[in-house]
Structure 1
Amino acid sequence: MEGRMTSGTFSKPAARRDGPAAFSPLYRQIRDLLVQALDQGEWKPGESIPSEIDLAARFQVSQGTVRKAIDELAAEHILIRRQGKGTFVATHQEALVRFRFLRLVSQGGELVPGHSEILACRKVRASAEMARELGLHPGDGLVYIRRLLSFKGKPTVVDDIYLPASLFKGLNLQILKENEGPLYWLFEARFGVSMVRADEKIRAVAACTEIGQLLGVESGHPVLRVDRVSYTYGDRAVELRYGHYVTEEYYYRNALI
């Protein structure tokens, strides 16, 4: 009979001093151990992970328990199953993952290819708000990026992006301008930081003069403000993003599950 998993071995559930023993389903423990291995770089984005049989032997559990853990990670787009080939670590090179973070769609519901232009990249210091969102200390170093996204030749999104400088050492304007893929793919391929989920807050605001000029609208024009915190494995915040969107021709689509 399968027991409680602790770092790949079994142990009895730990008794809590303030009440009954804490309990986590075994497949969730296996899921967490797989995420821990991903976080430690055991399997890189795009690489295959061991088979369910091999993982079951490694963790001393049934193949069904491993399958349920992998199913959950696949549902979260952390892993990707490929029929007849195995299970792979998700990468932002794949459209399934890449477009999960692009929420703008045309009025007909189609994703529209966009053009990304990097306008600025420099080192800044974290404000109190930024530090709180990223789990840092006020004054810690950040890499600031400003990006303009255009769709069908029309400026549509201005992104102001803040990244912990300690995780993105060497990131500069030249690297960003030479990058031909998605930003998140650059982050995972060059800096080993995988964005696996994000929380967003959305509200309507009036465009300031600077944002209006970049988006080709008048100051005071209504735009959608999207504040995003992106997380890597282990729910560690690694990106803070403030986006301003012109949405006359687009919807910001989200799925509620």
Structure 2
Amino acid sequence: MVSSPASSTTDPVSDGPAFSPLYQQIKTLITRSLQAGEWRPGELIPSEVELAARYKVSQGTVRKAIDALADENLVVRRQGKGTFVATHSEQKIQFRFLRLMSDDGETGNVTRRVIDCRRLRAPADVSRALELKAGDPVVEVRRVMHFRGVPVVLDDIWLPGNLFKGLTGERLAEYRGPMYGMFETEFGVRMIRAEEQLRAVAADATASELLQVAQGAPLLSVERLSRTYDDKPVELRRGLYNTEAHYYRNELS
């Protein structure tokens, strides 16, 4: 439970910048409660009236803060029910980071096959990306994603070992929901935002075999760094996408 803001409604976050808009300060306080686990993924958060009383601000200010949280997919509004902590198990959220679409515009039936899951010392480039110390343990997961039965994505996923103790290939294979949903519910790690780098590459021997394409075939390389609260990096994902019958879709605003 985070402390209530100061009695002044002009600066409820004592350690925040004085020039920050009031609703942004309330958004920060609510985010801290989410980070602390006061409200778990999928749970109902207090009403706007209750939050306004808690933080000693107007209901309109709270509403604006929640709108900002909803825009970032941290909470989900449900008509007539209230506002809930967003979860990667929800259909709207679970494919938020998956931007690959088939040429007919549908994601289609997506299945996953785990090829390998092992613990090792982080390679230098991985430790830098995940802001780990040299030699810290990481978990490496390799998997293939099939769209309508066709292998389309080859993922190499790197995770901090201290956050994902006990993660095994068997657990990944048995879990029926999205991987980020498993990270959230079983390890308490929620992916909040991600940044990506895209480039064109040629399929090597491994990609050729696993994606069932000719060696040297064009693939889209997507490197994603996913972050949790406080902008902490918690996943490095390097994917190879076969875009022969798919395209990468993004919305710019």
Query: Considering the TM-score relative to the shorter chain, is it more than 0.5?
Result: yes
Q: Which residue of 2 aligns with 1:208?
A: 204
Q: Which residue of 1 aligns with 2:182?
A: 186
Q: Which residue of 2 aligns with 1:4?
A: 11
Unaligned residue ranges in structure 2 (runs of 5+): 1-7
Which whole-Å deviations, capped at 9, do the CAs of 1:145-166 have from their partners, x for residues lacking one?
0010011211110000000011
TM-score normalised by structure 1 residue count: 0.92
Choose which of 50, 53, 62 in structure 2 pairs with 1:54.
50
How big is the shift at 1:245? 0.5
How big is the shift at 1:233? 1.7
How big is the shift at 1:106? 1.4
Q: Does structure 1 conserve the Cα–Cα contact (< 8 Å) formed by 2:107 and 2:147?
A: no
How big is the shift at 1:139? 1.2
Q: Does structure 2 conserve the Cα–Cα contact (< 8 Å) formed by 1:196 and 1:231?
A: yes
Equivalent AA in structure 2 for residue 155 of structure 1: P
Q: Does structure 1 conserve the Cα–Cα contact (< 8 Å) formed by 2:108 and 2:147?
A: yes
Is 1:85 aligned to residue 92 of structure 2?
no
Q: Which residue of 2 aligns with 1:115?
A: 111
Q: Which residue of 2 aligns with 1:254?
A: 250
Choose which of 150, 154, 157 in structure 2 pairs with 1:158.
154
Q: Which residue of 1 aligns with 2:122?
A: 126
Q: Does structure 2 conserve the Cα–Cα contact (< 8 Å) formed by 1:113 and 1:151?
A: yes
Q: Which residue of 1 aligns with 2:5?
A: none
Q: Which residue of 2 aligns with 1:197?
A: 193
| Distance in 1 between residues matched to 2:135 and 2:203, nearest whole Å | 28
Q: Which residue of 2 aligns with 1:17?
A: none
| Distance in 2 between residues matched to 1:235 and 1:70, nearest whole Å | 19
Is 1:143 aligned to residue 139 of structure 2?
yes
| Distance in 1 between residues matched to 2:222 and 2:201, nearest whole Å | 10
Q: Which residue of 1 aligns with 2:218?
A: 222
Percent identity between the two aligned chains: 54
Unaligned residue ranges in structure 1 (runs of 5+): 15-21
| Aligned 1:14-93 pairs, distance under 5 A | 22-93=18-89
Q: Which residue of 2 aligns with 1:19?
A: none
| Distance in 2 between residues matched to 1:118 and 1:236, nearest whole Å | 26
Q: Does structure 2 conserve the Cα–Cα contact (< 8 Å) formed by 1:128 and 1:137?
A: no
**Secondary structure of the corresponding residue to residue 32 of structure 1:** helix
Q: Which residue of 2 aligns with 1:96?
A: 92
How big is the shift at 1:6? 2.0
Q: Kindly tell me the number of residue pairs found equivalent between the two proteins.
A: 246
**Secondary structure of the corresponding residue to residue 177 of structure 1:** helix
Which whole-Å deviations, capped at 9, do the CAs of 1:62-88 have from their partners, x for residues lacking one?
111111110001011110000000000
Q: Does structure 2 conserve the Cα–Cα contact (< 8 Å) formed by 1:36 and 1:234?
A: no
Choose which of 170, 173, 185 in structure 2 pairs with 1:174.
170
Which whole-Å deviations, capped at 9, do the CAs of 1:215-237 have from their partners, x for residues lacking one?
01122111000000111122111
